[in-house]
Structures are given as C-alpha cells and as structure tokens.
Amino acid sequence: MVAIFLALIFSYWVTKPINALALVAKKVSQGDLTQTSGISRADELGILGKAFDDMVNKMRENIEMLDLKVASRTQTLATTNAQLQQAMSDSQKAQQQLAQVQHINAVGQLAGGLAHDFNNILTIILGNLLAAQQDNENNKQLLSRLSPAIKASRKGSDITNRLLAFSRRQSLLPCSVNMTELVDETIELLKGSLPSTLTISTEFSSRKLHTYVDASQLENCLINLVLNAKDAMPTGGVITIKINERIVNSTLLFDEEVQLGDYVEISILDEGCGFSEQAMGKAFEPFFTTKATHQGSGLGLSMVFGFIKQSQGYIHIANRKNGGANISILLPLLSYKKENINPQTSQPECEKLTRKTSFANKLILLVEDDHDVRAIIREQLISFGLNVIEANDSDEAEQLIDTINDLYGMVSDISMPGNKDGFELAELLKSRSPQSKIILMSGYFQKYNELSKDTAILLKKPFVASKLYQALQ
C-alpha cells in the first residue's frame, strides 16, 4: 500500500511535471514561443522549469530582435533600391538632355555659318536696292518694284537674326535690368496684341531683382513666350508671369544641369493644351513648329533658347498638372553693387543720307574678302566723301596699316583669310593711330564681350548705309 502511495506521489511530483515540460518543449520546437513550463517550485524541477522559461523568453526576444533587424534592413534595401532607380532615371534624363544639347549646339553651329553667309548676300542685295532707291527717287514705277524687294530683304535679315540668336552669335548690349519694370513695360507693349478674352496676371517678388542682360532682347523673348501662350489658348484664359529669386544649392536640371548660385526665375504659365512629347523634345530646334503652315516660322523658341544660353542662363519646359504649360527661365542674379549700371541706348535709324558730308578726302581702309560685299560697301563709303583703299585679306591690310600714316579709320570684316582677324587688325590700328575710327562687320559676333566699346564699333550684316554713316561719325 505504501509502495502504491509512493508511486503516486512520485508520478504527481516528478513524472507529471516532466511530461508537461516535454510537451511544452515540443510546442516550442514547433515555433510556439508563448509556452511556459508552468513549474513553480523551489526544488531541482523548479530550477529546470525556470531555466526552460528563461530560455524560451530569450529565444523569443532574439527572434523579435531579428525580425526588427530584417524589417529595417528590408526597408533600407527598398529605400536604396528606390534611390538607385531614381539615380538611374536622373542619369538617363541627364544623358538625354546632354545629347539634346549637343544636337542643338551642332545645329546652332550650322545655323550660325549659314546666317553669316546669307547676311553677306543680303548686304549686297539690300545695299544695291537702297542705292537704286536713292538714285531713282522720282521714278515711281521703279520705286514700286524696289519697295517690296527691300521689304523682303529686311524680312530675310530678320530670319538670319533669329538664327544668329539661336546659334548664340548675335551681338548683345547687356546692362542692369530691373525685372519687374521690364515685365511691366513688356505687358504694356502687348496689350494691343491680346484679345479681350485673355488676361495677364503677375506675381512678383517683393525684392527688386536685377540681372545683367540685353534688355531689348529679353523683352523680345518675353513677347515671344506670351504670344506663344496666347496661341495655345484660342478661347482665352489667364497667362501668369512670375518673378522670384531662386537659390540653387543642389542638383537642378533645366535644359542642362544648373550651376550652383543665385538666379532670377521668370516663369510664364498658361492654361492651354500644353506640349506633346514630340514638341517637348524639339521645341528649341529651329523651324520646328506645331502651328499650321504659314502661321509660324518655328524660330521663336529657338531664338529664346539661344539668347538665354548666350546670357549664361537656363530654360525649362514642363506641362502643368491641371493643364497648360510652364516655361521657366533662370538668369544670374545681379549683385546690388552693380545695379547702378545704366543701359546703353541706341541712336535712331536714319534712312536718308545726303551726298555732302564732313568726310571729304579722308582716307579709309576697307578690308573684306568677298568681292561683291566689298564693292557695295566701297560705293557707300565713296558716297560719304571718303577715299577708299582696299584689302582682300588681313595680311594685305596689315601691310597697309604699317605703311599709311594718315588713315581716318578702317572698315573690316571680322572673319577673313590671313594671319589676323578683324579684332586683331583693330588692335593693331589702334596702337598705330589711337584716334582712328574702326568699324568691324560680321554676320555674327563670337568675341563681342572681348572687345572694348572704345576700340571699335560693331555692325551686323546686313546693314543700311545710314548705320555705316553713323558709325563713322
């Protein structure tokens, strides 16, 4: 009886807890870490149960910690992967933009060369037409035929000027420009060209923001952009012009990556149809247009692009989320220390000249390698009363400068055969005769900023005789 009683006690006190512990251990091995031994005693089995419970708790904590680390690493990996994909996307965009810029630059070089040659041709045509007009003032029938030809020549000159703007080879007269004032003046000019269904809204920075650009060319750019916005809104709407200061201190892509610095940002926003994918990629290319035939030359945005790049700026085209387009321009912000620079003003053009001038018997050197261009300019100089000596290239011109001491001045092309260009000939003549008048001619100017305004006057081909006359004064 005693033996049975002892067996029962042993079974309750030892065997049963061990079996329960074994069952719990099995559940733990299957992944259930919520289990406990249930043994709470002060003997060896109690110590075993506590050790088992501590082990399970530690396993649970370790697994929870591991789960947190895995989740964190997974999130980090996902973030890194997203950043990598974004970087790859940005890199692809940058490569595409670089390819587009290189393409536009190549087209610009071609356009600039063609414009230069075409301007030489127009110089001959327009010069002869104006001379014929002046010599036949009383011949109404002839004048009626000359007038449209002169008009067409000037239209051709306007096209070449736009190509020169695109190729970044136009002559510029930069000055300090108050952007708020310029935009206000531009809007005043545009009022008569806009329908009553269209309004212009402005949002200007409270600060006076200045930039250093050619004011008239920038005005032309804004006019082009506003008129393009108008054409995109045939039923009317609102065009918004914003002017703000923008500080670029991190990577920013416009037509190319923007250099770090402070800029004036001009944004023109419309409510039109926006840009198609094709138009977005080709908007700045010359002669590309989405307008109907004979309704646009396709040179407006290309001219804007060329001028902005020539002014060390950036331009960006985007579609607005709610419809319409947003064209943003960045131009370097001018320090307030430079804001006292006064804009240069141009003299009014005078078409009519008298044959009697104050140049009688003065000697001038004419340097031009194109025979026909040289002939028409020689005729103009002679009509002013000047004596003309000619040179076909810079080498011949250099010899004449060295041997003739009484030159009144020089009229020279910039690009020509020989060891020197027009700028170098100008410096040579100025060193020999500081008071001499120097006029440099070209279909485009690449070194304008390198030439002091006190050294020479620049004339862009084609030009009328009155411009040459004014330059010689």
Mean model confidence pLDDT for the chain: 76
Unique residue bearing structure tokens 């070194």: 447
d(CA 458, CA 473) in angstroms, rounded, equals 14
Given 137, 166, 195, the domain boundary residue is 166
Q: Do 196 and 330 lie in a common domain?
A: yes
Q: Do 138 and 58 lie in a common domain?
A: no
Per-residue pLDDT averaged across 441-467, rounded?
67
Q: According to the model, what pLDDT value does residue 267 have?
A: 94
Measured in whole angstroms, the distance separating CA 90 from the mean position of its chain's CA atoms is 19
Tell me the pLDDT band of 473, cut-offs 50, 70 and 90. confident
Q: Are 196 and 334 contacting, i.e. CB atoms less than 8 angstroms apart?
A: no
Q: Are 172 and 311 contacting, i.e. CB atoms less than 8 angstroms apart?
A: yes
Q: Do 394 and 465 lie in a common domain?
A: yes
More confident residue, 334 or 455: 334
Q: According to the model, what pLDDT value does residue 355 have?
A: 38
Q: According to the model, what pLDDT value does residue 201 have?
A: 92
Given 125, 144, 166, the domain boundary residue is 166
- Among 353, 331, 304, which residue's Cα sits nearest to residue 467? 353
Q: According to the model, what pLDDT value does residue 204 have?
A: 92
d(CA 311, CA 327) in angstroms, rounded, equals 17
Max avg pLDDT among 49-58, 215-224, 256-265:
256-265
Q: Do 66 and 108 lie in a common domain?
A: no
Res 297 pLDDT > 70: no
Q: According to the model, what pLDDT value does residue 203 have?
A: 92
23-47: string of b/e by CB count within 10 Å (b at 16+)? ebeeebeeeebebebebeeeeebee
More confident residue, 457 or 26: 457
Tell me the pLDDT band of 86, cut-offs 50, 70 and 90. confident
Is residue 375 assigned to a domain? yes
Is residue 346 assigned to a domain? no
**How far is CA 404 from each of CA 364, 373, 387, 409, 429, rounded to the nearest angstrom?**
10, 24, 13, 11, 10
Res 269 pLDDT > 90: yes
Q: Which two tokens stand for residue 210?
A: 């200045």
Is residue 348 assigned to a domain? no
What's at 253, amino acid-wise?
Answer: L
Q: Do 50 and 134 lie in a common domain?
A: no
Q: Which two tokens stand for residue 420?
A: 């020197």
Is residue 187 assigned to a domain? yes
What's at 133, amino acid-wise?
Answer: Q
Q: Do 35 and 144 lie in a common domain?
A: no
Q: Do 198 and 290 lie in a common domain?
A: yes
**Residue 396 φ/ψ, nearest 5 degrees:** -65, -40
- Among 56, 55, 58, 65, which residue's Cα sits nearest to residue 31? 56
Q: Do 299 and 232 lie in a common domain?
A: yes
Is residue 87 assigned to a domain? no
Tell me the pLDDT band of 372, cut-offs 50, 70 and 90. confident
Q: Do 261 and 321 lie in a common domain?
A: yes
In total, how many domains does the chain have? Answer: 4
pLDDT digits (tens, 9 = 90+) for 400-438: 888 887 888 999 988 888 888 888 899 888 888 888 889
Q: According to the model, what pLDDT value does residue 443 have?
A: 66
- 3-state SS of the chain is CHHHHHHHHHHHHHHHHHHHHHHHHHHHHCCCCCCCCCCCCCCHHHHHHHHHHHHHHHHHHHHHHHHHHHHHHHHHHHHHHHHHHHHHHHHHHHHHHHHHHHHHHHHHHHHHHHHHHHHHHHHHHHHHHHHHHHHCCCCHHHHHHHHHHHHHHHHHHHHHHHHHHHCCCCCCCEEEEEHHHHHHHHHHHHHHHCCCCEEEEEEECCCCCEEEEEHHHHHHHHHHHHHHHHHCCCCCEEEEEEEEEEEECCCCECCCECCCEEEEEEEEECCCCCCCHHHHHHCCCCCCCCCCCCCCCCCHHHHHHHHHHHCCCEEEEEECCCCCEEEEEEEEECCHHHCCCCCCCCCCCCCCCCCCCCCCCCEEEEECCCHHHHHHHHHHHHHCCCEEEEECCHHHHHHHHHHCCCEEEEEEECCCCCCCCHHHHHHHHHHHCCCCEEEEEECCCCCHHHCCCCCCEEEECCCCHHHHHHHHC
Lowest average pLDDT, out of 114-123, 139-148, 165-174, 403-412, goes to: 165-174
Is residue 91 assigned to a domain? no
Instruction: Provide the whole-model pTM.
Output: 0.46
Per-residue pLDDT averaged across 376-403, rounded?
84
Q: Do 332 and 435 lie in a common domain?
A: no
Is residue 351 assigned to a domain? no
Q: According to the model, what pLDDT value does residue 240 have?
A: 93
Per-residue pLDDT averaged across 113-119, rounded?
63
Provide the domain limits for residue 20: 2-80
Given 166, 199, 214, the domain boundary residue is 166
**How far is CA 104 from each of CA 255, 281, 283, 392, rounded to the nearest angstrom?**
11, 11, 11, 34
Q: Are 324 and 198 contacting, i.e. CB atoms less than 8 angstroms apart?
A: no
Q: What angle do CA 248, 254, 260 make, to 5 degrees?
A: 25
Max avg pLDDT among 96-100, 227-231, 273-277:
227-231
Q: Which two tokens stand for residue 328?
A: 């943003």
d(CA 266, CA 308) in angstroms, rounded, equals 12
**How far is CA 164 from each of CA 87, 97, 170, 282, rounded to the nearest angstrom?**
36, 22, 5, 18
Packing angle of the helix pair 179-190, 215-231 (nearest 10 deg): 50
Judged on CB neighbours under 10 Å (0-12, 13-18, 19+), 53 is middle
pLDDT digits (tens, 9 = 90+) for 198-250: 999 999 988 889 998 888 788 888 888 888 888 888 888 999 999 999 999 99
Judged on CB neighbours under 10 Å (0-12, 13-18, 19+), 430 is middle
Judged on CB neighbours under 10 Å (0-12, 13-18, 19+), 418 is middle
Q: According to the model, what pLDDT value does residue 352 have?
A: 37
Q: Do 235 and 328 lie in a common domain?
A: yes
pLDDT digits (tens, 9 = 90+) for 278-295: 767 666 766 556 555 444
Lowest average pLDDT, out of 63-67, 165-169, 256-260, goes to: 165-169
Is residue 349 assigned to a domain? no
More confident residue, 209 or 359: 209
Tell me the pLDDT band of 151, cut-offs 50, 70 and 90. confident
Q: Do 159 and 178 lie in a common domain?
A: no
List the CATH number of the domain containing 431.
3.40.50.2300
Q: According to the model, what pLDDT value does residue 345 have?
A: 34
Tell me the pLDDT band of 95, cut-offs 50, 70 and 90. low
Q: According to the model, what pLDDT value does residue 418 have?
A: 87
